[in-house]
Amino acid sequence: MKYNKILMFLLCSIFSKEMLSQNATITIKNKSDRCLSVKLMHGPEKKAVLYKADSVGPKSTIVFDVNETGLYFTKLRAILYDKKKPENNDTLYSKDRPIQVISEKKRGYSNVTIEFKVKESTNEGSVAITRKEYDH
């Protein structure tokens, strides 16, 4: 009986912690055949700092939890690996426009989804950047 009470207390505390610790989210959906390296930047473009970084495989999704309200944008490096035709391997770099994300108890929590698609002849919706700009 004592173990049941302890187990019930642990489950209730875990459940209540999950209910109280809400955050905004930014979801990156990679709908391409490329491997993505994603840098989530926080702040206006000229003064932005790296908030989080991760990789997303082809046809995969990643979710970033955001606990601070502010402007966010992504810098992406998309690499195409073609084992059959290595001459087709290439890398694209891009940056999205900043978006306002809200992560506050009073104002609510934003849930943003960004889809990355590549038409191998054009790149729509993002601004092309250089490798140097991606690295900084």
Domains of the chain: 23-135 (2.60.40.10)
pLDDT at res. 23: 85
Lowest pLDDT segment from 16-25, 50-59, 127-136: 16-25
Grade residue 13 by pLDDT with cuts at 50, 70 and 90: low
Contacts of 109 (CB under 8 A, 6+ apart): 22, 23, 24, 25, 102, 103
Distance separating alpha carbons of residues 27 and 48, to the nearest angstrom? 19
Mean pLDDT of 56-76: 94
- Residue 4 in this model has a pLDDT that exceeds 80: no
pLDDT at res. 82: 74
Q: Which residues of 77-96 are buried (b: 16+ CB within 10 A; e: fewer)?
A: bbebeeeeeeeeeeebbbbb
Mean pLDDT of 88-117: 89
Residues 41 and 72: beta-carbon distance below 8 Å: yes
Average pLDDT, the chain: 82
pLDDT at res. 18: 47
Q: Is the pTM of this model over 0.75?
A: no
Mean pLDDT of 107-133: 77
Nearest Cα neighbor of 114 from 128, 98, 129 is 98
Mean pLDDT of 14-36: 77
pLDDT at res. 27: 94
- Residue 46 in this model has a pLDDT that exceeds 90: no
pLDDT at res. 8: 64
pLDDT at res. 17: 46
